[in-house]
């Protein structure tokens, strides 16, 4: 199975130390939700192409080198003279990230119909994050998702500062979930994503199941921070993966890398039960990685205590989403 990951690639500017009075030191990390997922999938040994808009500027060259170095194909990407998008990252005392974005007239948001390839039923299209809801190119991306024959997954990955109007944000997210449901696909969100969209801090799993049912999804995956993650199906089945205690560097890219581990495991359905597969898929591979890196399959296997970590399951020829319909 080939994964095609669609969405933004940008630069995360992360402070090296506390700000100084006259000058601060910042490191420019390659990032963006879909970028991180594509890179992590390739590190896990998957066949991956990145479908994005990459600038010709110096930061764009960095992003290209990072993807190519990880083994991600760039043949589907579009080159643009627009500047690379930037995210200024602030970290709190426990490493949780907050973002301020600089997006005006930058590379990620000018999608046009001609930028999108024709994908086959054997492909898996994963997309998500900011470029799906903001920018002039968002409608073209929605049309692409609505028309593709590929299997689908969508990471909502809410960024409130990019569209503070909750009802408008939820309307756009709902249109994308409806498109994913057309192919009985999968949607992922954090509990915080859901709480912000619905202005309700109660049970995110209630909304996950409701949306899975309303939009025809095969499952909805909810990440729950330190509590782990949960997969919910339209008929109410739930499979939980409890959290694991790890030393947190920061949370930058954690959900994106989680999604890569989930998709990689879910694509290999021939060797274990659905319940076991989902539980393994829901483990966070990002918990063993340093900033700017992603773990390999063997590193994840060793962390989980697999005795046969070198025996990688073969990829299934059947869409895993189809088996949950």
Per-residue CA distances from 267 to 25, 63, 214, 223 (Å): 41, 26, 25, 19
What number is the average pLDDT over the span 109-134?
95
* In the predicted structure, residue 309 carries a pLDDT above the cut 50: no
pLDDT of residue 325: 45
Q: What is the mean pLDDT of the chain?
A: 84
* In the predicted structure, residue 307 carries a pLDDT above the cut 60: no
What number is the average pLDDT over the span 224-244?
86
Q: What's the pLDDT tens digit per position in 10-59? A: 999 988 876 677 777 889 999 999 999 999 999 888 999 999 999 999 99
Report residue 247's pLDDT band, with 50, 70 and 90 as the boundaries. low
* In the predicted structure, residue 304 carries a pLDDT above the cut 70: no
What number is the average pLDDT over the span 243-268?
75
- The DSSP bridge pattern shows strands 26-31 and 10-15 to be antiparallel
Between CA 225 and CA 189 the distance in angstroms is 11
3-state class (DSSP) for residue 70 = helix
What number is the average pLDDT over the span 93-114?
86
Q: What's the pLDDT tens digit per position in 167-226? A: 999 999 999 999 999 999 999 999 999 999 999 878 999 999 999 999 999 999 999 988
pLDDT of residue 111: 95
What number is the average pLDDT over the span 140-164?
96
What number is the average pLDDT over the span 73-86?
97
Between CA 302 and CA 320 the distance in angstroms is 25
Q: Tell me if 159 sits within 8 A of 101, measured CB to CB.
A: yes
Query: In the chain, what percentage of residues exceed pLDDT 90?
Result: 58
Question: What are the structure tokens assigned to 239, written together?
Answer: 């499979």
Which of 119, 159, 116 has the alpha carbon at shortest distance from 3? 119
Q: Tell me if 17 sits within 8 A of 25, measured CB to CB.
A: yes
pLDDT of residue 298: 64
Q: Find the range with the poorest average confidence among 59-63, 96-100, 165-169.
A: 96-100
With tokens 């402070």, the residue in question is 15
**What DSSP string runs through 202-270?**
S-HHHHHHHHHHHHT-SEEEEE-GGG-EEEE-TTS-EEEE-------S--TTHHHHHHHHHHHHHT--S
pTM of the model: 0.85
* In the predicted structure, residue 156 carries a pLDDT above the cut 60: yes
* In the predicted structure, residue 285 carries a pLDDT above the cut 70: no
Between CA 186 and CA 222 the distance in angstroms is 11
Q: Any residues with CB less than 8 A from the CB of 258 and at least 6 apart, and which? A: 223, 229, 282, 284, 285, 286
Instruction: Return the DSSP state at 9.
Output: -
């Amino acid at each position: 199975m080939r994964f095609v990951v669609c969405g933004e690639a940008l630069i995360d500017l992360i402070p090296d130390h506390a700000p100084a009075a006259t000058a601060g030191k910042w490191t420019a990390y390659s990032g963006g939700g879909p970028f991180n997922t594509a890179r992590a999938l390739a590190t896990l040994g998957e066949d991956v192409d990145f479908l994005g808009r990459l600038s010709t500027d110096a930061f764009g060259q960095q992003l290209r080198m990072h993807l190519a170095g990880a083994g991600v194909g760039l043949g589907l990407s579009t080159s643009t003279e627009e500047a690379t998008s930037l995210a200024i990252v602030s970290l709190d005392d426990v490493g949780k990230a907050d973002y301020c974005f600089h997006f005006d007239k930058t590379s990620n948001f000018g999608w046009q119909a001609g930028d999108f390839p024709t994908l086959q039923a054997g492909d898996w299209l994963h997309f998500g994050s900011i470029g799906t809801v903001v920018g002039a190119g968002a409608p073209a991306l929605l049309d692409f998702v609505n028309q593709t024959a590929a299997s689908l997954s969508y990471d909502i990955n809410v960024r409130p500062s990019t569209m503070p109007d909750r009802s408008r944000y939820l309307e756009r997210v709902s249109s994308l979930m409806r498109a994913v449901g057309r192919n009985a696909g999968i949607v992922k969100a954090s509990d915080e994503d859901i709480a912000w969209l619905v202005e309700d801090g109660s049970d995110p799993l209630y909304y996950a199941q409701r949306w899975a049912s309303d939009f025809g999804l095969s499952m909805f995956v909810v990440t729950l921070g330190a509590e782990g993650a949960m997969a919910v199906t339209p008929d109410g089945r739930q499979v939980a993966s409890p959290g694991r205690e790890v030393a947190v560097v920061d949370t930058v890219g954690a959900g994106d890398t989680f999604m890569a581990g989930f998709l990689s495991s879910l694509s290999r359905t021939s060797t274990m039960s659905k319940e076991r597969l989902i539980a393994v898929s829901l483990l966070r591979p990002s918990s063993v990685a340093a900033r700017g890196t992603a773990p390999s399959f063997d590193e994840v296997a060793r962390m989980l205590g697999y005795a046969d970590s070198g025996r990688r399951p073969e990829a299934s020829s059947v869409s895993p989403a189809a088996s949950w319909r």
